[in-house]
């Protein structure tokens, strides 16, 4: 009986983690756009489950998503302009910038964290951002 109870408790806990991990999926399109429209600093990259923090000594990499669909990218002192849009059915941010058109699936989105995937030379990885404003 104790084993059944512990199994049920573990299952309940794991189910809660799965729901919490994707808590942004219950948000409306307008709510997600509002959360995205901020200034974000790249803080880590994740590839095949291995997270690599961005060293503080490197120039900051920032994304600013504006409500009018414009995108500003900063790599150190260099500024690049682009456009962005959001597809609610796929939970994807589409960016058009110096790298071309890219589709970024949202992995997590909260008031202070934004994680989306990216691709570079055929490799898919996650990009983790911290909100600055």
Q: Where are the beta strands (DSSP E) in 3-47?
A: 39-47
Percent of the chain whose pLDDT exceeds 90: 72
- Please, what are the domains in the chain? 27-131 (2.40.128.280)
Residue among 40, 108, 106 nearest 73 (CA): 40
pLDDT at 120 (0 to 100): 79
Q: Is the pLDDT of residue 16 over 50?
A: no
Per the structure block, which two tokens stand in for 104? 């970024």
Q: Is 30 helix (H, G, I), strand (E, B) or coil?
A: helix
pLDDT at 82 (0 to 100): 97
Region 91-111 average pLDDT: 95
Q: Is the pLDDT of residue 104 over 80?
A: yes
Q: Where are the beta strands (DSSP E) in the chain?
A: 39-47, 50-53, 61-65, 70-75, 78-87, 92-97, 100-109, 113-120, 123-131
Q: Which pLDDT band, with edges at 50, 70 and 90, does 20 fall under?
A: very low
Instruction: Report in angstroms the alpha-carbon separations of 41 from 11, 30, 91, 113.
Output: 35, 22, 20, 10
């Amino acid at each position: 009986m104790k084993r059944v109870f512990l199994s049920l408790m573990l299952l309940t806990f794991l189910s809660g983690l799965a729901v919490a991990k994707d808590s942004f999926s219950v948000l409306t399109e307008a709510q997600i756009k509002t959360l995205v429209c901020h200034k974000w600093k790249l803080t880590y990259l994740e590839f095949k489950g291995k997270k690599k923090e961005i060293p503080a000594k490197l120039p900051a990499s920032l994304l600013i998503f504006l409500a009018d669909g414009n995108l500003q990218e900063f790599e150190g002192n260099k500024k690049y302009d682009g456009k962005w849009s959001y597809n609610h059915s796929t939970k994807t941010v589409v960016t058009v910038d110096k790298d071309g058109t890219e589709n970024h699936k949202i992995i997590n989105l909260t008031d202070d964290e934004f994680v989306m995937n990216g691709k570079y030379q055929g490799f898919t990885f996650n990009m983790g951002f911290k909100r600055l404003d």
